[in-house]
Amino acid sequence: MNYCPQCATELQERLVDDSIKPACPDHGCGFVFWNNPTPVVAMIVERPDGVVLAHNAQWEHRFFSIITGFLEAGEDPRDCAIRETAEELGLTAQSAQLIGVYSFARQNQVIIAYHIEADGDITLNEELDEYKIVPVSELRGWDMGTGLAINDWLATRQEQ
């Protein structure tokens, strides 16, 4: 962001609350671009045969991940997880349990992760172009973003 959305003044780097932020000059309207993270809901969608991993149609690499979606204004994160499971996979959530909340600084996101037990036939929406079912015994997370949620969920399952 280069210009203030309120008064169109060119933003300048300023010290605000102990960090440097793009902001209107002191004589401007006082706007500060906080660049707060975007809330994203992630779902470990489990079916009797395993966990659904999908490939986003816009991704260049052949990488599969758990299902994600943006939290809408005023929406409860749990409701978002259920909605996104239906929208992206065509599945009906039978349960939705919070796994945890994770920072994903690289994408400026906060990830709110749920475990979803779901029924139905998978029907991908236009955002996804491929999916696979991974047996829980073969599922492995990674060291950032949604992979952290997978790692925590797997650790919880081992404790039970």
121 and 107 in one domain?
yes
Q: What is the pTM of this model?
A: 0.87
pLDDT (tens digit, 9 = 90+) per residue, 40-73?
Answer: 999 999 999 999 999 999 988 888 999 999 999 9
95 and 19 in one domain?
no
111 and 137 in one domain?
yes
1 and 52 in one domain?
no
42, 71 Cβ separation under 8 angstroms:
no
Nearest C-alpha neighbor of 51 from the set 160, 138, 158, 144: 138
The range of the structural domain enclosing residue 16 comes to 1-35
135 and 79 in one domain?
yes
**SS3 state of residue 53:** strand
pLDDT (tens digit, 9 = 90+) per residue, 67-93?
Answer: 999 999 999 999 999 999 999 999 999
27 and 51 in one domain?
no
122 and 73 in one domain?
yes
pLDDT (tens digit, 9 = 90+) per residue, 18-29?
Answer: 999 999 986 778
CATH code, domain with 151: 3.90.79.10
> Which DSSP symbol is given to 95?
E
Q: Alpha-carbon distance 88 to 92, whole Å?
A: 11
